[in-house]
C-alpha cells in the first residue's frame, strides 16, 4: 500500500468520525448518557459510542482499495461480533450472550482465516487442542481490549501500537498481505484516535473495542501462532501485555474479593493512574502507551527467543503489581 493510500484512509476516518460525532449527538443515537449510572463511568457529559462506525467503514474502504481477500475474510468473521456489539451499544446484554457471539466470530476466524495456534513455544499441539485453544485465545483477546477500554485513547492507542509492531514483524518476515492489513487498521483507528484522545469527543463503543481486540487477536495468531519458526508465540503475550495482564489481574482481584469477575469497576491500573494524576486521561494513558511501546520494541528484538520473552513478560507483570500496590496505598492514604 502506498503512502497516499494510507493517508486517504486516515483522512477518510478522520473526517467521517467528525460527521459521526455531529450526527449521533443530534439524533441522540448510541449516546453514553451523562446521567446513566455505570461503575466504570468517568465522563460528565453525554458522549457518542459510535467510533466503530468510522473505524469499520474506513477499514472496509481500505480492504476495497487494496483488494485484500484476507481483509474480506476477516470482516466476514467479524460479523457476529458486529451484530452483538451494535446491540450492546444500543441496549445492554448479558455477558453470557456476548460470549456466544465472541465464540461464533472466533470459530469463523479459525475456519476462514486458518487462525490456529499450533504451538505455545514448547512443541506442537494436537489439532483438536490447537483449534479449541485458538478459539479460547481469540475470545480472550476480544474481552481483554473491551475490559481496558476505560480511558480516552487507551484501547485504540494500544491497538495502534500492537498493529504497528505486527507491521514491522510482518515486513521482516516478508508477509506482505498481513503487513498491508495492519497498515489499513492503523490508518482507520488513527482517524478515530485524534477525536478520542485526550478530550473524548467520541467513544469506541463495545463494537469498536471488539473490533480492535478481534483484529489484534487474529494478527497475533497468524504471525506468532506457530506458522513461522522465526517468531515465538510469546511475542504475542508481550505485544498485548497490558490488555492481557490487566484482564488476568482484574479477574484474580475480583474473585479474591468475592465479587463476580465479570462485574466492571474503577479499580484497574489505568483508573488508579487517572486518579493519581488528578483525573488526567492524557498523563495516565500516555504512561501506559509508552510502557507498552517499550515492551513491543523488546518483542521485536527478541521475537524468536521464547525464554527471554517469558522472562520479560514476568518482569513486566511484577512491575505492574509493584506500581499497582504503590498507587493503591497512595490513593488510600490521600482519601483517608
**DSSP labels, 240-269:** THHHHHHHHHHHHHHHHTTS-TT---S-SH
Q: Mean pLDDT over residues 198-222, rounded?
A: 96
CA distance 5 to 159: 20
**Predicted confidence (pLDDT) per residue in 278-308, tens digit:** 999 999 999 999 999 999 999 999 999 999 9
Are the beta carbons of 104 and 130 closer than 8 angstroms?
no
With DSSP H G I counted as helix, E B as strand and the rest as coil, what are the percentages for the chain, rounded to 5?
70, 0, 25
**Predicted confidence (pLDDT) per residue in 241-282, tens digit:** 999 999 999 999 999 888 888 888 889 999 999 999 999 999
Whole-model pTM over 0.75: yes
244 vs 36, residue with greater confidence: 244
Amino acid at each position: 500500500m502506498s503512502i497516499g493510500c494510507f493517508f486517504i484512509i486516515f483522512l477518510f476516518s478522520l473526517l467521517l468520525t467528525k460527521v459521526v460525532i455531529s450526527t449521533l449527538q443530534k439524533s441522540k443515537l448510541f449516546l453514553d448518557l451523562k446521567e446513566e449510572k455505570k461503575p466504570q463511568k468517568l465522563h460528565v457529559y453525554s458522549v457518542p459510542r459510535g467510533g466503530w462506525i468510522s473505524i469499520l467503514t474506513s477499514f472496509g474502504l481500505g480492504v476495497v482499495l487494496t483488494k485484500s481477500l484476507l481483509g474480506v475474510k476477516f470482516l466476514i468473521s467479524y460479523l457476529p461480533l458486529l451484530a452483538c456489539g451494535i446491540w450492546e451499544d444500543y441496549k445492554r446484554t448479558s455477558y453470557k450472550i456476548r460470549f456466544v457471539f465472541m465464540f461464533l466470530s472466533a470459530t469463523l476466524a479459525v475456519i476462514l482465516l486458518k487462525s490456529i495456534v499450533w504451538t505455545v513455544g514448547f512443541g506442537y499441539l494436537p489439532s483438536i487442542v490447537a483449534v479449541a485453544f485458538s478459539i479460547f485465545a481469540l475470545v480472550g483477546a476480544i474481552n481483554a481490549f473491551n475490559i481496558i477500554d476505560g480511558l480516552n485513547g487507551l484501547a485504540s492507542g494500544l491497538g495502534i501500537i500492537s498493529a504497528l509492531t505486527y507491521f514491522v514483524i510482518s515486513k521482516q518476515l516478508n508477509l506482505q498481505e498481513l503487513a498491508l492489513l495492519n497498515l489499513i487498521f492503523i490508518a482507520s483507528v488513527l482517524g478515530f484516535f485524534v477525536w478520542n484522545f485526550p478530550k473524548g469527543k467520541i467513544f469506541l463503543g463495545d463494537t469498536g473495542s471488539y473490533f480492535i481486540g478481534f483484529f489484534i487477536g487474529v494478527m497475533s495468531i497468524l504471525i506468532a501462532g506457530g506458522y513461522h519458526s522465526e517468531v515465538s508465540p510469546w511475542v504475542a503475550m508481550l505485544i498485548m501485555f497490558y490488555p492481557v495482564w490487566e484482564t488476568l489481574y482484574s479477574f484474580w482481584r475480583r474473585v479474591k474479593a468475592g465479587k463476580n469477575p465479570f462485574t466492571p469497576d474503577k479499580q484497574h491500573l489505568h483508573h488508579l493512574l487517572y486518579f493519581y494524576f488528578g483525573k488526567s486521561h492524557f498523563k495516565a494513558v500516555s504512561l501506559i502507551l509508552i510502557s507498552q511501546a517499550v515492551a513491543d520494541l523488546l518483542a521485536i528484538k527478541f521475537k524468536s527467543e521464547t525464554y527471554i520473552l517469558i522472562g520479560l513478560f514476568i518482569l513486566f507483570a511484577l512491575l505492574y503489581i509493584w506500581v499497582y500496590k504503590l498507587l493503591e496505598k497512595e490513593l488510600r492514604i490521600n482519601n483517608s
